[in-house]
Copies of this chain bind each other. A is one copy, B any other.
Amino acid sequence: MRADARRNRERIVAAALDRFAACGPDVGMDDIARAAGLGVGTLYRHFSDRQALAAEIAADALVELVAVTRAASASGATGWESFRDVTQHSTGLPLALVKTLSAQLPPSDRFEALRAESNGLLAEIVARGQRDGSIRADLATPDILDLFSVVVCRAGAQPGDSVTTVMLDGLRPRHSPEPGQQHTAAAGRHLV
């Protein structure tokens, strides 16, 4: 692949991420192309159709999620600390967008594989935490994965925001918050 082609592809992905996040999953392809500083034709040369582009965005984020989860697996003294690390880094990923885009995408082996991998790694982290006593043991692992998903796939999730903090905090046994924890204030305008 020529250097400029690679550069264009990256520009498109970046622009798409930006536009999808800003305008929702229904942004026009023209908008994305314009944001990338390219013509629509070029966009279509790189991504056969809208779904292919959406899938790319989603897969990129899932790949990062796997990486983040892998890194966290190795980080931290306790399972809880590792879990906290995944959460903090995942919250910075555009996972709310992935969730939205996924709804418009056909099921795909690649996606399933990525999901299975990050879920597997996270389950291991949780199990470790429950063994080492840093994560409360009265919850089943799938329930904790569920909770994780809800927290990191929120629209507007930010590392260290109140919901993240509460969840991490609530996962500790007997509920003893980390001393000195700081979290960003609530955004103030909840949907409900």
Contacts and interface: CB of A to CB of B under 8 A. Distances in A.
Query: Helix, strand, loop or mixed for chain A's interface?
Result: helix
Contact of A192 (B142, B153, B172): B153
B95 A191 contact: yes
B149 A90 contact: no
A146 B102 contact: no
Contacts of A166: 139, 143, 147, 170
B142 A186 contact: yes
Nearest to A90: B192
A24 B103 contact: yes
18 contacts: A62-B192, A90-B192, A95-B192, A118-B192, A119-B190, A136-B175, A142-B162, A142-B188, A143-B165, A147-B162, A147-B163, A148-B192, A150-B151, A152-B192, A166-B170, A169-B170, A173-B175, A174-B175
